[in-house]
Chain A
Amino acid sequence: NAGVTQTPKFQVLKTGQSMTLQCAQDMNHNSMYWYRQDPGMGLRLIYYSASEGTTDKGEVPNGYNVSRLNKREFSLRLESAAPSQTSVYFCASRAKTSGRFYNEQFFGPGTRLTVL
């Protein structure tokens, strides 16, 4: 079990370039999430997917798009990168439980993105 994997681990872009961050999980989880973490701060939710075929905006969605390709994969795209998007990006997933209770999230190792 690899858990949650992310590619690439590091990336440097120039302003205006585009790229896609990939995330995959092998735990058969329904929900997947993309966060960004700026230095010395907590995580902020960019987008999430409660289940295959659905996506919703989080706290900071501007400048990003997502695709829930299948149950395993959830990608994050920067169409025109800006220096303000320099950050560490984390993908996470979690299982759905019955009723109103949810479980913990499992995180990938992160992608360190620098936009010059």
Chain B
Amino acid sequence: SQQGEEDPQALSIQEGENATMNCSYKTSINNLQWYRQNSGRGLVHLILIRSNEREKHSGRLRVTLDTSKKSSSLLITASRAADTASYFCATDKAAGNKLTFGGGTRVLVKP
């Protein structure tokens, strides 16, 4: 079973628009991470937010975490064609040394 579930499963936007995707999870976590995967490639880490943090920024990325609702969101501002990829959330549970990945959101940014 997957701890994180992303919503929506797919997203199509125009270049310059913002893209928002959400992740919900079920159990207590130490941190939540977002990764990007370009077609046919491995995953690349984007941002990590710890359970005691509510918001984090990295360049054009903004991540929020609401532990009371067990949910997180990833916002990509001013999207570019190069942002076309699948985005995955992954949770680090309170106990253990392993990540659990969601099913991903496929983002298409049209030029």
A residues adjacent to B (C-beta < 8 A): 4, 31, 33, 35, 40-45, 48, 50, 58-59, 90, 92, 96, 100-110
With the chains together, A41 CA to B40 CA distance in Å? 13
A43: contacting residue among B1, B50, B101, CB under 8 A: B101
Question: Assuming A42-B2, A109-B41, is B100 touching A102 (CB within 8 A)?
Answer: no
B103 & A42 in contact (Cβ 8 Å cutoff): yes
Considering only CB atoms, which chain B residue lies closest to A58 in the complex?
B98
Question: Assuming A90-B42, A90-B43, A104-B45, is B97 touching A31 (CB within 8 A)?
Answer: yes
Q: Is B82 an interface residue (CB 8 A)?
A: no
Q: Is B48 an interface residue (CB 8 A)?
A: yes
B98 & A107 in contact (Cβ 8 Å cutoff): no
Considering only CB atoms, which chain A residue lies closest to B104 in the complex?
A42
User: Chain B's interface: helix, strand, loop or mixed, by majority?
Assistant: strand
A108 & B97 in contact (Cβ 8 Å cutoff): no
Taking CB atoms and an 8 Å cut-off, the chain B residues in 47-63 that contact chain A are: 48, 50
B7 to chain A minimum Cβ distance, whole angstroms, is 13
With the chains together, A44 CA to B88 CA distance in Å? 12
Q: Is B18 an interface residue (CB 8 A)?
A: no
B43 & A101 in contact (Cβ 8 Å cutoff): no
Q: Please indicate which of the listed interface residues A4, A58, A104, A105 has the most CB atoms of chain B within 10 Å of its own CB.
A: A104
B43: contacting residue among A43, A44, A96, CB under 8 A: A43
B42 & A104 in contact (Cβ 8 Å cutoff): no
Question: Assuming A42-B88, A43-B88, A102-B31, is B100 touching A107 (CB within 8 A)?
Answer: no
Closest 8 CB pairs of A and B: A104-B45, A107-B42, A42-B101, A43-B101, A107-B43, A42-B103, A50-B97, A109-B42
For the complex with contacts A42-B103, A45-B100, 14 further pairs of A-B residues with Cβ separation under 8 Å are A33-B99, A41-B103, A42-B4, A42-B88, A42-B101, A43-B43, A43-B101, A45-B99, A59-B1, A59-B100, A90-B42, A105-B45, A107-B44, A109-B42
Q: Is B33 an interface residue (CB 8 A)?
A: yes
Query: Chain B 27-48, CB within 8 Å of chain A: the 1/0 string?
Result: 0001101010000011111001
